[in-house]
Structure 1
Amino acid sequence: MNLKYISIGALAIIAALFYFMSESSKATAERLKKAEISHQQRLEQNKIDEEKAKKSLEAQRIQTEKARALKAEQDKLNSQKQAKEFEQQQQVRIQSGIKKIEDKVKELAFDPTSTQFRNQKGNCGEVNGKNRYGGYTGFKKYIYSPETDTVSLESLDKFYTADVMQILWDAQCP
């Protein structure tokens, strides 16, 4: 009888072992299944993160291109502004130079307030002024020499005749 109880006890222990092993296998299988699901979720999240990173990089690239284009446009505008300012400065210098030359020519005129100018280019031009009788003499060519700060005026004396002035004009005037 003892053997019967021992065999039943051994069977009960073996059954319990099988039961616990079975439960353990189920728990392990469940853990593995959860781990696999977790792994799949991580893979999917990694794909989503990768897509987000690609979109972010693309957005940064577009932003960089826009910034570069904006900078190029700003540089172009600045360059145009500087060119315009330079041109204005040149015009001021030219006007200042013309005014200086006009003043120098007016020093030779009988009536400086009546002088009229035309065809002014560089240091050359034409001037018309009144004579002692109050009539205009007609436009005469002049050439200003910045080196000597003098004006050569057509028909001022016998040396600067129309022919001589035309030769000087052709050589010195643009």
Structure 2
Amino acid sequence: MKKWPIAACAAAAVALAGYAVAVWWPVQQMKADVRQHLNDPESAQFNQVFKGNKEGAFCGEVNARNRMGGYVGFTRFIHFPDHDIKFDPTDRGYMSEDERQSAANFSVMWHGYCGAGY
């Protein structure tokens, strides 16, 4: 009996487990962290999620229902390795002076952690 099919299946299982630990689990943890900041966590829709330029950071967009039950549109976010999350304040319409400064800071963070090509 040939043993190579068993060895190939075992190697595939190890590779799949390695993928789950290295890629799938961190993404699921990031999504759970982002959901904690939403009014309706179950309604979260993620778009353009990718690993950032800096170790452990994730970048992307999230859309969720507001208190009135309507979707508000996709908002960019940065998820930091310490599980802190910053949302793009420019996606909320009118901004005060403090919010404009916050938006400028977010833009700098986005370029540093996520890259300029987005």
Match of 2:19 in 1: 91
- What is the identity, as a one-letter code, of the residue corresponding to 2:20? V
Question: When you count helix as a share of all residues, which structure comes out higher?
Answer: 1
Aligned to 1:121: 50
Structure with bigger strand share is 2
Contact 1:153 1:160 in 2 (8 A): no
Quote the RMSD (CA, aligned, Å): 2.9
Instruction: Report the residue type matching 1:169 in the other structure.
Output: W
Rg larger in 1 or in 2?
Answer: 1
1:21-60 equivalent positions in 2, closer than 5 A: none
5 Å matches for 1:100-111? 100-111=29-40
3-state DSSP of counterpart to 2:48: strand
Matches within 5 A, 1:130-149: 130-146=65-81, 148-149=82-83
With the length of structure 1 as denominator, give the TM-score of the two structures.
0.46
The percent of aligned pairs where both chains have the same amino acid is: 24
Number of positions where the alignment pairs a residue of Structure 1 with one of Structure 2: 96
Partner of 2:86: 152
Query: Relative contact order (alpha carbons < 8 A, sep ≥ 6): 1 or 2 greater?
Result: 2
* Runs of at least 5 residues in structure 1 that lack an aligned partner in the other structure: 1-73
Query: What is the Cα deviation at residue 169 of structure 1?
Result: 2.1
**Alpha-carbon deviation of 1:116?**
0.3
Secondary structure of 1:133's match? Answer: coil
Counterpart-to-counterpart distance in 2, 1:138 and 1:164: 21
Give the distance between the partners of 1:172 and 1:151, measured in 2 at CA.
12
Unaligned runs of 5+ in 2: 52-57, 93-97
Q: CA deviation at 1:128?
A: 0.4
Deviations 1:81-136 (A, max 9, x none): 75x55652342121110110000000000000100001111211110011111111
